[in-house]
Amino acid sequence: MKNVDFGLYKTFEIARGYAVMFRLDAFNVFNQVTWWYPDNNFNSPTFMKLTATNYTPRTLQAGVRFLY
């Protein structure tokens, strides 16, 4: 399973001892699909075949943090 997550942040000092941090995070940057486990039911016609995905789409998240 290969997922690439990425994050950027920048902190700006407002006054002495106070700052604001802006943050951007991206999860599953390349939008990779991962396969679920193969079917392990002996009586199934899809025995040992990959029929489902464990897919989490690309997600972006932004945030602001006040530091004191």
- Top pLDDT among 49 and 59 is at 59
Per-residue pLDDT for 65 more than 90?
yes
Q: Cα separation of 16 and 61, whole Å?
A: 29
The larger pLDDT score, comparing residue 10 to residue 31, is at 10
Residue 1 lies in a domain: no
pLDDT at 43: 86
Please determine, for residue 40, whether its predicted confidence score (pLDDT) is greater than 70.
yes
Spatial CB neighbours of 45, under 8 Å, sequence gap ≥ 6: none
- Please tell me the total count of domains within the chain: 1
pLDDT at 10 over 90: yes
**What average pLDDT does the chain have?**
90
Quote the domain boundaries for residue 50: 6-67
Whether pLDDT at 33 is above 70: yes
